[in-house]
Amino acid sequence: MCQWCNQHGDRGQKWYDKIENYMFEKVFPDEAAQEKAKEEIKSTFSQTEWRYSDPEFIRNKQFLQDRADSGFGSQIITKEEMVKVIRLADEATKRADTFMVLGHCPCRLVYEGVRDYVCIGFGMPVIMSMEVGYGRLPREGLTEYGGEEWRNLRRDLRKGVKVPLKLAEAEELIDEWEKRGLWHIVMSRGRLPLIEAICNCERRYCTYWMNRFRSDVPEYVLKGHFIARVHPEKCVSCGECWDKCQFGAIHYSPTSDNVDIDPTLCMGCGLCDGACPNEAITMVAREQIPLAKNLW
């Protein structure tokens, strides 16, 4: 089990399999804690997020470590796990009378100026993010909450955002993202263990990935609970899997004409498994691989 399952799961349960971790009122049971958390959510969306567009912050390890210590974090999951996550999120939003929304990837917006709708947010953070007009371009000034500008902004946002997003739509999207070769993460944005969103990412622009691998703050994106393993007898060396791996974990050996997966590099995204036409790859529990069982 990873550190978050140990801290936030119940009796060996994964932290993202626990429905209470999707519910604002369960994570923050008293009113004072709720108000404080809401203020922090607003602050995250209205101030800190756009610092990501500033190199002074994106490469500032202390700034990133402080944020990780205050509860920013995510974990790579497989497509099958993501479907389970989105079903739990849907159930939690119904119980708490909130909703799910499809939103653009803020990382891709910062790095490439493109709005790519590959994230799903849910619960109270969605409500709070809409109040501050989350979705503005980097460096635009804050709009006053409730004013005409804010209303126009929210209307514009909604042109690109399905509000609310239905569960069946979300499941279709997850399929689409898997086909695009995007890996899946389940995330908390400053309030671990509150699960607030899922993202579907690529290495070239995922800020959480960069915070781990370039700035050496691993809590930003933990490796997943599974590791890919090849069955050599089924592998025909077609190359479909190694095209999918964004982490350099898959190697082709011309001498054996076979494919190897390095368990110490595998992040557990499962994209290779989904791409293999021969069912030559299976995802096994990290605990079963002695070399990698403690590598989170």
Q: How far is the CB of 187 from ligand SF4 (least distance, A)?
A: 18
Taking CA atoms, 204 is separated from 133, 144, 193, 201, 209, in Å, by 26, 34, 27, 9, 9
Residue 67 or 244: which CB sits closer to ligand SF4?
244
- The CA distances from residue 78 to 97, 149, 179, 269, in Å, are 28, 40, 13, 5
Kindly indicate which of the ranges 27-35, 56-64, 204-212, 236-244 contains the residues binding ligand SF4, using the contact rule CB under 6 A.
236-244
132-171: contacts with ligand SF4 (CB under 6 A) = none
Of the two residues 100 and 261, which places its CB atom closer to ligand SF4 in the complex?
261
Residues 236, 67: Cα–Cα separation, whole Å: 45
One residue of 114, 236, 284, 285 binding ligand SF4 per CB under 6 A: 236
> Considering the complex, what minimum distance in angstroms separates the CB of residue 275 from ligand SF4?
6
**How many residues sit close enough to ligand SF4 to count as binding (CB under 6 A)?**
28
Q: Spell out, one character per residue from 275 to 294, where the chain touches ligand SF4: x when CB under 6 A holds, - when not.
A: xx-x-xx-------------
DSSP per residue, 80-126: HHHHHHHHHHHHHHHHHT--EEEE--HHHHHHHS-----EEEESHHH
Of 275, 76, 277, 83, which Cα lies nearest the Cα of 180? 275
How far is residue 161's CA from residue 163's CA, in Å, rounded to a whole number? 6
237-276 residues in contact with ligand SF4 (CB under 6 A) are 237-241, 244-245, 247, 249-250, 259, 261, 266-272, 275-276
Nearer to ligand SF4, 171 or 262 (CB): 262
Query: Partners of 57 in the beta sheet?
Result: none
Amino acid at 288: Q
CA distances (Å), origin 114, targets 58, 105, 177, 283:
19, 9, 16, 33
Smallest distance from ligand SF4 to CB 230, Å: 5
Nearer to ligand SF4, 134 or 208 (CB): 208
Contact pattern from residue 193 through residue 232 relative to ligand SF4, giving x for each residue in contact according to CB under 6 A and a dash for the rest: -----------------------------------x-x--
> Which of the 8 DSSP states describes residue 253?
E
Looking at the DSSP assignment, which residues form a beta bridge with residue 73? 188
Q: In the complex with ligand SF4, which residue's Cβ is closer, 194 or 283?
A: 283
Q: Which is nearer to ligand SF4, 199 or 250 (CB)?
A: 250
- Per the structure block, which two tokens stand in for 41? 């959510």
Measured from the Cβ of residue 285, the count of other Cβ atoms closer than 10 Å reads 11
Site of interaction with ligand SF4 (CB under 6 A): 228, 230, 235-241, 244-245, 247, 249-250, 259, 261, 266-272, 275-276, 278, 280-281
